[in-house]
Chain A
Amino acid sequence: MDRGILQTRFFMLLCIIIPGCKKQLSIHPPYSAITTAQVFADSADAESALSGMYSSQINRGSINQWGGGGMTVYLGLSADELVSFSQADAQLMQFYNNNLQVDNGYIFNNFWRGIYFTIYQANAIITGLNTSTGINQSAKDEMMGEAKFFRALSYFSLVNLFGDVPIITSTDYQKNQTAARSGKSDVYKLIMDDLTDAQSKLPDDYSVGGGEKIRVNKWGATALLARVYLYQERWPEAEAASNSIISSGQFSLTQDLNQVFLKNSTEAILQFQVNSSGGIGTATPEGYRFVFNTPKPPIFYLNPSLQNEFDSADLRKSAWFDSTVYRGKAYYFPYKYKIGSAETEPGGDVSEYYMVLRLAEQYLIHAEAKARQNSDLAGAVADLNLIRARAGLDSLVNLSQTEVLDAVARERKCELFAEWGHRWFDLIRTGQANTVLPALKPQWQSMQQLFPVPALELKYDPNLTQNQGYP
């Protein structure tokens, strides 16, 4: 080969290679990810962001994530509902003994961090929808409503667990990393705004969930709003909100107690769908945790003080309790969900969904709101009697306001036990915690009614402060 030609070619090669650098650096995203712009480019992808939100509640990480059984388990221990069989897990025992420490990993991962992650998801979806141009307005509204419901549910949990908490409504970490705590009333204002907005944007049927009660609709937002009003002692609004559900004609109390927690039961307002190809198969997170039909000690069993609360004729005792005998001793456990770790069938047909909101609570809200207003005690008693009748109990008659309120409290305890921490919140909300719990928990301290803000969080956010009484 002629030397000159060869030289020229080599130089040409070098000249071609070097300037193409910038172009050469372009890379494709990971196969299993898409960019934020792609997510909100069309409604199919945006819908997947919403299904990600639901799936995160019950399928993400530990089966004790706050929205996937964590509220029930940990708050059940903190209150007078549950006892842990093994005492080996010191951090778990801190809930039962009400001596929570600032470095408790469950508080950090399953509550604080888990809930704020849901808030981030909601904020990201709200931001994404607001800037999206490829999604039609009705789809946008519906998704926006769902995102706001989740944000409200998250803040409702936060404000009741921790008291004042930072309000985060954007995805901008530079701004949010120095967020300070906002007063409870501001947090509640956000919750109510979100829920009211969600009510107006969400459909009043289950079309989005394909007929299944697995996507939140207007009634879901209303049900949570009723609870929010109740907690804020805004009785008329609570009454009105719960009444709108009761009178909507869409729901009815499931008369067979064993069918209340089946999927799409008549009483369900919102359930999270169980995907049986997950690690816990056809079981709900709570069923998997609680139900032990094997000669094995239960992980958690019912606190005897709760068992004693039930009337002997109460059908809920037989329908919603079960027991396992271990070393000669019977341990009772919650049996609202029937599919436990022994019954679960990976990949099998799902019969139960994880209940988030149901009609019975609305009756109890309705009753309590009326009783508190002292306007329609008979109406309140009538609500209670519906619940009692289903449980095989006699109807109540002629009660004073205090008696009605006591009856409501007792009925809440028995009807809503081991569900989403209702009992713990009720104890605090009604000021009962300091009278009921010290008898059961020798280490009880009043300041434990609010959980400590995780120490790590205080370390990384200079403006965050700890709850009173914690180091």
Chain B
Amino acid sequence: MRFFGNTSPTLRFSNSAALRLGICVTGSPVLFLQIVKSKILRVVKLTVTLMLAACLHLSANSYSQKITLDEKNAPIEKIFRAINQQTGFQFLYNDEALKGAQEVTIKVTDASLEDVLKICFSNQPLQYIIQNNAIIVKQKTETRASNNADSGPPGELHGRVTNTNGEPLAGANVVIQKTNKGTITNAKGEFTLSNLKEFDVLSISFVGYQTETFPVKGKTNAEIILEVAKDELDKVVVQAYGTTTQRLATGNIATVTKEQIEKHPVMNVLSALEGQVPGVVVMQKNGYSSANFSVEIRGRSVLSNFPADPLYIIDGVPLTVLTLNAYDGYGNSSGFLQNGFTGPANGQSPLFSLDPDDIESLTVLKDADATAIYGSRGANGVIIINTKKGKIGKTKFEMNFYAGASVVTGRYNLMNTQEYVAMRREALKNDGLEPDPGTDYDLTTWDTTRYTDWQKEMWGGTGHTYDLQTSFSGGDRQTTFRIGGGYHRETSIFTHGGADQRASVQFNITHRSLNQRLELSLTSAYSYVTSDMLEVSGSVLLPPNAPPVFDQRGFLNFDGWQPVPDLLLSFGSIFQPYTAKTNFQNSRFSLQYKILKGLTFSTQLGYSSFAVSQKYLTPIISQNPNYSPTGSNEFGNNNGYNAIVEPQLDYKLSLGKVNVSTLVGGSIQAVSQDGNVVFGSGYVNDNLLNSIASAKVKNASDVSGQYKYNAIFARINLNYNDAYILNLSARRDGSSRFGPGNQFGNFGAIGAAWIPSQYNWWKNNLAFVSFAKLRGSYGITGSDQIGDYKYLSLWGAATLLPYQNMPTYIPLGFANPTLRWQSNQKLELAVNLGFLRDRIVTELAWYRNRCGNQLITYPLPTLTGFNNVAQNWDALVQNSGVEFTLTAKIIDKKDWQWTTSFNIGANKNRLVSFPNLALSSFAGQYALGKSLSISHYLHYTGVDPQTGQYTYLDKNHDGVLNTNTNDTASDLISQDFAIPFDGGFTTTVTYKSFQVSAFFAFRKQLIAVGLFSAPPGTLSSEPNQSRDVLDRWQKPGDHARYARFTTLPQESDNFFSESDATVTDGSYVRLRNISLTYDVPNKIIKKSGLGNLRIYARGENLFVISKYKGLDPEAANVGFLPPSRIFTCGIQFTF
């Protein structure tokens, strides 16, 4: 095996018993390690333990140790040993490299490492790099090559490019600076250049690595080691079918790192995404952990109510979930639960099955250039999730555990019994009524002195969260691996509630052939999730004097709740368990073969599948015994798979300063999903309720669907000297969602970037702007998100009970064989700047997305037979906006670091054109020039001091409030609920071993506050009120905020909840997360055998600042569950 030249190399560690850390950080191949010096066994033991650890985040660990040395003409290796003993820093070098080293004379006392190294290396043909706790020593580039008489003709140079792990870098660019001619490296990282002149200088670059230059000076052999780029701009970021860097990207790519994700003690990674990326609005449908999210990238672009989720790609496998049956309103898919039985959480998020701890990075692709190569599937943006992979190095074991508690963030200020009873009596008095024993049971039958705090009763509990993660990883030049497992359990703050649990395993293995040309990789994640839930039982707005929930025997107190035990039925859910068990796996096999220099064939085979089985029981015990109830149950199944094959050819070519990278490929995807529900009833006792076989009556329904998709695509990227970059992509997509003749569509995008900071004239004149890039992109993508089979006229069989023992068919809806691709035009212009040697990096992007030929579910009058039809509609919706991100290393010292980042995305949503809007089904709902999120309200004009009734603006003073949105004489006004801007702010301060970070999310928005479930004073199933309503009208002349109490609501009372009195500013700044971390210094843990030890505490959702007076702008309806506050503590270690 060759390494560093022709001789058999040894990479040597200076060592000692004090050896502390760091080998794995540099990831040196285990095979090449040789531990020298005596006491080997003891050292090995300790070293292995310690080395296993190294990946923990101790890069901040200080250089603070002081060094004292007094040596004369000592061999440099001796100096290395001495430094190692005093500081723990370890030297990595190649015997060959030290051949030309000079002896060192040094005398220092309490000097810093950097100063000592400076002295030692001052006259050496060597250079060094400090990387984490290791010091890599190598020959200065000039001396790295050696003359060799056996090598080829004069002027020819053979070279090899590797990274610091010794992995060959295939496809690296090698350019002769003067002539701009060059080549790229082959699979082994080798290159050959001929006709070199003596004074030629080569420039060697590779994505994600720092570029090196190298004078030829007549050498014939060279070994070049590239180092991983560390600054924001040059780090590798994931792009569609490949990688790039922020410096060279022509599209809009935003990355959320594992460090950002792991700070949130949440079960679904999507809830860690809120506020992290500008232009991405994340909202969860309800408070259950497993509930689905709606993720909207750059505003709402469709008139349709159909879910417009971005494309999720997990390890290269698209997570396509069909919408077969259930979705509730705009953007809200029911996720994995498509059988129509959506459970208390109204669905289940597909990403709920993915362990956030397995995620290495989450990348959001927004503009046409970044997403175009995903074609139609990327029309709503793309989120690429890559899981953690093994790295070359010693096998390390990592473990992380945290536990925490959650409580409700606040409580509503509700009336107590005294106030409630007074309100009810006042209402009756206002109406001229006496309490009626039949209907005013709360005043006549129930104890009017009894008091129950229903908030405490219902959500006064404490939720618990536990999370344990373990993993092993490592590998050598040929094979790397990572295997991991995790377990998470959390319970909610409901007094009666369930628990969510997830167990997951993940593995990844990558193997390369000896000649490095063939690479095989298998990545797989498997998880098992159980969700035990109860429907939210009861209501906090129950009368405060309502009877107890349970009787003395512990049964539901139906008799005590006479005469309205039906109100109690909501508490029946305490005994009605719902369970969903989900198996999910996502696997990818990939094969890559470097056919020729620069030409790589690869293919990916991806397969993911899920199976959810659900059970919901309604035992007799949960029902009113007076009705002689029987038990019933519901069993559901949902299954789906997703298979994808993506063959690709990738060709890289260096034409000197112009680098060309081309990709052609195909994508074939098949998705199939089905689900069923069996409903059993007639159980005369509860014992057999878990068995469907014992049901007296069984009814079943099922859904199924298939979706196929294929594409061919090509991308060409031209890079001139890292200063001009052009990226062109084109593709042809076919989708099974359209009928014959309309299946295929052509799409494409162009992206370009100009990086003037590459030039000397810039560097000389504008040095403080260390990086400047102007980029732009334009493209057209399609969309087929309208549901499956919409072109096909179908009759549902077996959706109804048989008649006369015959199957029953009923028509399912209108078919539209003319459906075709929706078109999304995306335009983006952006400027990226780096200041102060890129310590401050900013991006300012402007975009304009226009979505036309809209695929919509067009509402129809039901006299046609159905209430909608899938249609292409010639309406144009525009989202335009500005996004800004800033990342700054404010302090970057050895002991002190302070980094901060800020992002904001502002979006303006507008219906640009809509032919014949006034005549269409959307008349009254949408308005030209306004956002799609408008709603219509009566304009509230206060309480009439004479009558005590609410009043509203009657535009034409005709004495009638016209609430018909269609009517030109309508008295309604519109309010825009589109989110004008939102964003986030993170700040992290590190002092030695301590790190504190805080993450704020903010959003500007209007919200509609659901005030009462019934007008104050009226007895309903939720009659209690906020204490605010005490400011009510009582007698003529009163100026009050609320109308008189009444039990006989008038139209004016009913209109109140439909008026703009309910619309308020719900903007907020929320401290989403605070994280305190302490990395226990090595000297303390040294003896314990641990490699690394970190202790941390985190708080989620700590406070919110908002003009909204209620509990929380995200739970604006009185009586709705406010979000919970979570505290966790954890410990993480490696060895």
Instruction: Give the interface of A toward B (CB within 8 A).
Output: 3, 6-7, 10, 13-14, 17-18, 21-22, 24-37, 39, 45, 47-49, 51-56, 59-60, 87-88, 108, 112-113, 116-117, 119-121, 123-124, 166, 168, 171, 173, 176-177, 179, 209-210, 212, 214-215, 273, 275-279, 281, 294-297, 327, 341-342, 345-347, 455-462, 464, 471
B32 contacts which chain A residues (CB < 8 A)?
none
Interface assignment of B699: CB less than 8 Å from any CB of chain A: yes
Residue from A273, A346, A456 having most chain B Cβ neighbours under 10 A: A346
B428 vs chain A, min Cβ distance (A): 15
- Contacts A56-B810, A119-B865 given; 8 further ones with Cβ under 8 A? A30-B794, A35-B793, A59-B803, A113-B867, A117-B862, A342-B627, A459-B923, A471-B964
Interface assignment of B645: CB less than 8 Å from any CB of chain A: yes
A43 vs chain B, min Cβ distance (A): 12
Say which residue of A13, A120, A212, A277 sits within 8 Å of B697 (CB atoms): A277
B12 vs chain A, min Cβ distance (A): 38
B596 contacts which chain A residues (CB < 8 A)?
7
Interface assignment of B795: CB less than 8 Å from any CB of chain A: yes
Q: Is the CB of A296 within 8 A of B627?
A: yes
B865 contacts which chain A residues (CB < 8 A)?
116-117, 119-121, 123-124, 168, 171, 173, 176
Q: Is the CB of B863 within 8 A of A13?
A: no
Interface assignment of B806: CB less than 8 Å from any CB of chain A: yes
Q: Is the CB of A120 within 8 A of B866?
A: yes
A455 contacts which chain B residues (CB < 8 A)?
964
Nearest 8 CB-CB pairings of A with B: A120-B865, A346-B697, A461-B861, A51-B803, A52-B808, A113-B862, A347-B697, A36-B793
Q: Is the CB of B803 within 8 A of A273?
A: yes
B1030 contacts which chain A residues (CB < 8 A)?
none
- A10-B593, A120-B865 are known contacts. Are A294 and B799 too (CB-CB below 8 A)? no
- A36-B793, A168-B864, A173-B814 are known contacts. Are A28 and B706 too (CB-CB below 8 A)? yes
Q: Is the CB of B699 within 8 A of A471?
A: no
B806 contacts which chain A residues (CB < 8 A)?
47-48, 51
Interface string of B624-660 (1 = CB under 8 A from A): 0011101000000000000001010100000000000
Q: Is the CB of A124 within 8 A of B666?
A: no
| CB contacts between A and B, total, < 8 Å | 247
A66 vs chain B, min Cβ distance (A): 13
Residue from A21, A215, A276 having most chain B Cβ neighbours under 10 A: A21
B324 contacts which chain A residues (CB < 8 A)?
30
The closest CB in chain A to the CB of B962 belongs to: A471
B965 vs chain A, min Cβ distance (A): 7
- A25-B710, A32-B702, A55-B800 are known contacts. Are A116 and B862 too (CB-CB below 8 A)? yes
A281 contacts which chain B residues (CB < 8 A)?
682, 697
Instruction: Give the interface of B toward A (CB within 8 A).
Output: 324, 438-439, 563, 593, 595-596, 601, 603, 626-628, 630, 645, 647, 649, 666, 668, 670, 674, 681-682, 696-699, 701-710, 712, 734-736, 743-744, 788-789, 792-804, 806-812, 814-815, 859-867, 869, 919, 921, 923-924, 960, 962, 964-966, 1020-1021
The closest CB in chain A to the CB of B793 belongs to: A36
A331 vs chain B, min Cβ distance (A): 12
Q: Is the CB of A48 within 8 A of B797?
A: yes
23 examples of A-B residue contacts, CB within 8 angstroms = A3-B595, A7-B595, A14-B649, A17-B645, A30-B794, A32-B799, A35-B792, A35-B795, A36-B794, A39-B809, A51-B804, A51-B808, A121-B810, A168-B865, A173-B814, A176-B863, A179-B861, A273-B804, A276-B697, A296-B627, A457-B863, A462-B923, A464-B863
Residue from A48, A116, A179, A464 having most chain B Cβ neighbours under 10 A: A48
Q: Is the CB of A346 within 8 A of B696?
A: yes
Complex Cα spacing A215 to B812, Å: 23
Complex Cα spacing A170 to B596, Å: 65
Complex Cα spacing A88 to B1013, Å: 13
B794 contacts which chain A residues (CB < 8 A)?
29-30, 33-36
Complex Cα spacing A341 to B626, Å: 12
B799 contacts which chain A residues (CB < 8 A)?
32
Q: Is the CB of A34 within 8 A of B809?
A: yes
A87 contacts which chain B residues (CB < 8 A)?
439
Q: Is the CB of B802 within 8 A of A27?
A: no
Say which residue of A33, A214, A471 sits within 8 Å of B960 (CB atoms): A471
Say which residue of B630, B668, B797 sits within 8 Å of A32 (CB atoms): B797
Q: Is the CB of B796 within 8 A of A51?
A: no
- A34-B797, A48-B806 are known contacts. Are A346 and B681 too (CB-CB below 8 A)? yes
B1010 vs chain A, min Cβ distance (A): 17
The closest CB in chain A to the CB of B795 belongs to: A39
A119 contacts which chain B residues (CB < 8 A)?
865
Q: Is the CB of B860 within 8 A of A52?
A: no
Q: Is the CB of A24 within 8 A of B708?
A: yes
B1126 vs chain A, min Cβ distance (A): 39
B741 vs chain A, min Cβ distance (A): 11
B627 contacts which chain A residues (CB < 8 A)?
294, 296, 341-342
Complex Cα spacing A49 to B1073, Å: 58
A379 vs chain B, min Cβ distance (A): 38
Q: Is the CB of B863 within 8 A of A112?
A: yes
Q: Is the CB of A120 within 8 A of B811?
A: yes
Q: Is the CB of A21 within 8 A of B712?
A: yes
Q: Is the CB of A14 within 8 A of B647?
A: yes
B1055 vs chain A, min Cβ distance (A): 13
Q: Is the CB of B862 within 8 A of A347?
A: no
The closest CB in chain B to the CB of A462 belongs to: B919
Q: Is the CB of B864 within 8 A of A177?
A: yes
B960 contacts which chain A residues (CB < 8 A)?
471
Complex Cα spacing A345 to B696, Å: 9
Complex Cα spacing A371 to B793, Å: 51
B924 contacts which chain A residues (CB < 8 A)?
459
B800 contacts which chain A residues (CB < 8 A)?
52, 55-56, 59-60
Complex Cα spacing A327 to B865, Å: 46
Q: Is the CB of B966 within 8 A of A347?
A: no
Say which residue of B666, B681, B809, B1020 sits within 8 Å of A88 (CB atoms): B1020
Residue from A55, A273, A462 having most chain B Cβ neighbours under 10 A: A55
Q: Is the CB of B810 within 8 A of A52?
A: yes
B620 vs chain A, min Cβ distance (A): 14
Complex Cα spacing A17 to B648, Å: 11
Q: Is the CB of B703 within 8 A of A30?
A: yes
Q: Is the CB of A27 within 8 A of B706?
A: yes
Complex Cα spacing A341 to B630, Å: 11
Complex Cα spacing A225 to B869, Å: 35
Say which residue of A6, A121, A464 sits within 8 Å of B593 (CB atoms): A6
B1021 contacts which chain A residues (CB < 8 A)?
88
A459 contacts which chain B residues (CB < 8 A)?
921, 923-924, 964-966
The closest CB in chain A to the CB of B702 belongs to: A32
- A112-B863, A459-B924 are known contacts. Are A27 and B810 too (CB-CB below 8 A)? no
Complex Cα spacing A454 to B793, Å: 27
Complex Cα spacing A276 to B803, Å: 11
Q: Is the CB of B863 within 8 A of A33?
A: no
The closest CB in chain A to the CB of B863 belongs to: A116
Q: Is the CB of B595 within 8 A of A179?
A: no
A17 contacts which chain B residues (CB < 8 A)?
645, 647, 666, 668
Q: Is the CB of A173 within 8 A of B864?
A: yes
A453 vs chain B, min Cβ distance (A): 10
Q: Is the CB of A55 within 8 A of B595?
A: no
Q: Is the CB of A52 within 8 A of B801?
A: no
Complex Cα spacing A24 to B706, Å: 12
The closest CB in chain A to the CB of B706 belongs to: A27
B712 contacts which chain A residues (CB < 8 A)?
18, 21
A177 contacts which chain B residues (CB < 8 A)?
860-861, 864
Complex Cα spacing A153 to B705, Å: 36
Q: Is the CB of B808 within 8 A of A458?
A: no
The closest CB in chain A to the CB of B869 belongs to: A173
Q: Is the CB of A278 within 8 A of B863?
A: no
Complex Cα spacing A462 to B705, Å: 35
Complex Cα spacing A465 to B670, Å: 48
Complex Cα spacing A168 to B861, Å: 12
A48 contacts which chain B residues (CB < 8 A)?
797, 806-809
Say which residue of A26, A168, A295 sits within 8 Å of B863 (CB atoms): A168
